[in-house]
Amino acid sequence: MQTVKMVVTGPFNAGKTHFIQSVSEIDVVSTERKITSEAERVKETTTVAMDFGRITVDDDLVLYLFGTPGQKRFDFMWEILSEGMLGFIVIVDSARPETFREARGILQTFRAYAPTPYVVAANKQDMADAWNVDDLRIALKIDSKVKMLPCVANDKESVKKVLLELLYSILEEINP
């Protein structure tokens, strides 16, 4: 049995857990805990180690999706999670510009860990105050060559599109 891994990363409350839940065939093995920091109390719980989802391709191949913890104090986990990944997805909360700087930092950190393809998912595009993808690209200083995709993490089709675009990028890298 061969297993491959993709990492889903992004700032706190960007929607990483929802993203994985939308496509995982198993209940996401989530390690959520009640939030203790007042500053980050925009939701009740957060991922402290990793989310873990699975998509079985066939008898010989399984894709695992790993979600990184969003709070900065758990960033020691990132390098471990990035080991051997096929590619990664950076989820950005399009409606919270105060997290853009952090998203950019996370993106740069993961790029330093491994030279694998990645895409950026502009999540929460269904919210009224979400920044559009073009504006986000400028705000996050994302190169025009990098795929930046609109996304709604609890919409399965939207998540599938992001995963597929990442796989197309990986394929392009193998067969330039």
Partner 1 sequence: MAIKGNLRDFNVTQLFNLINLARKTGTLTLEGQSESAWVSFREGKLIFAHIGKEDSTLPGILLKGGLINPSQLRAIKTHAASKSDKELGLMLINAGYVSQQDILNSIRQYILDIVYQLFTWLDGFFRFDTDVLPPEDRISIRLNLENVIIEGARRSREWEQLQEEIPNLDMSLNFVNRPGANIRDVNLNVEEWKVVSYVNPKNTIRQIARATRMSDLDMRRVVYGLLQAGLVEIVRPEGMPLPPQVKQFKPVDEKQQASLVNRLIQRIRSL
Indicate whether 64 belongs to the interface with partner 1 (CB under 8 A). Answer: no
Helices H / strands E in the chain, number of each: 5, 8
Which of 41, 72, 134, 168 is the binder for partner 1 (CB under 8 A)?
168
| Closer by beta carbon to partner 1, 32 or else 167 | 167
Q: How many CA atoms lie within 13 A of 40 on its CB side?
A: 17
Q: Considering only the stretches 31-39, 45-53, 110-118, 127-135, report the one whose residues sit in contact with partner 1 under the rule CB under 8 A.
A: 110-118
Burial class for 90, CB neighbours closer than 10 Å (0-12, 13-18, 19+): buried
Distance CA 101, CA 98 (A): 7
Interaction pattern, residues 122-151, with partner 1; x per rule: CB under 8 A: ------------------------------
Cβ distance 133 to 150 under 8 Å? Answer: yes
The site for partner 1 (CB under 8 A) is made up of 2, 4, 23, 55-58, 61, 63, 79, 82-84, 86, 101, 105, 112-116, 156, 160, 163-164, 167-168, 170-171, 174-175
